[in-house]
A and B are shown apart, each in its own frame.
Chain A
């Protein structure tokens, strides 16, 4: 099968699954959050409120499209498209099983980091083009936070690259399968790198405790203040997809991807991704948000040197125990 057809077929399949999951999670998250807070959540629309997701999406599609008079129209329209495009596009190089992968790029990790980082630009474009003070403040905070946490993210992702000696995501998973890295082995660079990656991923997708870019008690809606209808939906969707795809990347890079006993690889990969995805929302509904300066201090003072040390530790491990690898 040629690359063109393969990419398109797997693109449709994978994106359909990703979009359905994040769409259903509108219902899932509301139900989940409600249970955490001893409420019932949606119960009216359909059995157990299951059709709530459909109702929400239909409502959002019907909303009037308002563009502020003073906004930069071109950038205002471009931003949500770019955000959704970048968040979804990352899914191209994620191996869901040895066969289920849209494109096994040999620079997969760089592709993920590069396209993932573009989301920041989309968010700032939205904040800037709205010509709204809340949106601009949200955009500025978002950029400051995202570029800060980009460093630990990139350096933590470098640890499995060093251990596996390849930038291809499926090669990294294959290395983990070969070395039974089910429990993040070797522990020294592996486990803290996973922690830092997961934390930086939360920050990149603006999730609590890192959600100051859209702190609704101070910034109304942050960058989405002026957005309505489908454009708001695209931003919102991009955030969910970013979290879901980020969980899949973390599962592939650190948790052994499709590796696991008794069940087919695809099931293991999906299970690992969903566990990470749900824990993101568990964290979201359990913690409070930090202050902007606390976030930046934590990143630059602790996470950056820690991730630099982890990269060097991984390099040292490869040098000291080449026979283990």
Chain B
């Protein structure tokens, strides 16, 4: 049995269920008798909406994203290694420790610099 095709078929069923829920909602939903433009205004706790919400991000999130990319790439490199670790032996383990160590020095530097400190 092809497991990849089974997974795709499962995802197809998932998509079908989600779409049928949407369609059920479309059939059953109540329509407004009187349309009001106020209903389609962004909700700001009853205040008049002030400008658009689409604005620039706080730089803090940019730093978190940068850290994430670093460590996620590390994880991507470690995953292939993790399955064949037994056949590769101790020398590879030392190499991986060196690789992780370089990254963790960067992590330590960032933490010392207060890269994620909230102020």
Q: Which residues of A contact B (CB under 8 A)?
A: 1-8, 10-12, 14-15, 19, 58, 60-70, 81, 84-85, 88-89, 91-93, 102-106, 110-111, 128, 130-136, 140, 143-144, 147-148, 150-151, 154-155, 158, 161-162, 165-167, 220, 225-226, 229-231, 233-234, 292-293, 296-297, 300-301, 304-305, 308, 311-312, 315-316, 318-319, 322, 325
Contact = CB atoms under 8 A, between A and B. Distances in A.
Contacts of B22: 81, 230-231, 234
Contacts of A60: 25
Of the candidates B3, B26, B32, B43, the one having the most CB atoms from chain A within 10 angstroms of its own CB is: B3
Given A64-B29, A319-B90, A103 B75 contact: no
A292 B119 CA distance: 12
Nearest to A135: B53
Nearest to B2: A3
B18 A88 contact: yes
Contacts of B18: 81, 84-85, 88, 234
A220 B43 contact: yes
Contact of B107 (A1, A167, A304, A312): A304
Interface in B64-104: 64-65, 67-68, 71-72, 75, 78-79, 82-86, 89-90, 93, 96-97, 100, 104
Given A6-B1, A15-B17, A230-B26, A311 B78 contact: yes
A62 B42 CA distance: 22
When A and B form their complex, which 7 residue pairs have the shortest distance between CB atoms, in order from nearest?
A: A230-B25, A7-B9, A11-B13, A293-B118, A7-B6, A3-B5, A103-B6
A251 B75 CA distance: 22
A19 B118 CA distance: 40
A144 B75 CA distance: 18
Contacts of A65: 25-26, 29
B1 A2 contact: yes
Given A102-B6, A167-B83, A308-B100, A8 B40 contact: no
Contacts of A140: 57-58, 61
B107 A305 contact: yes
Given A7-B7, A84-B18, A62 B13 contact: no
Interface of B: 1-15, 17-19, 21-22, 24-26, 28-32, 37, 39-45, 52-55, 57-58, 60-61, 64-65, 67-68, 71-72, 75, 78-79, 82-86, 89-90, 93, 96-97, 100, 104, 107, 111, 116, 118
A18 B90 CA distance: 43
B30 A63 contact: yes
Contact of B42 (A70, A89, A111, A154): A70
Contacts of A296: 64, 116, 118
A161 B118 CA distance: 35
A60 B28 CA distance: 10
Contacts of A134: 43-44
Contact of A85 (B5, B14, B57, B90): B14
A69 B37 contact: yes
Contacts of A148: 64, 67-68
A103 B4 CA distance: 7
B64 A102 contact: no
B25 A233 contact: yes
A65 B89 CA distance: 59
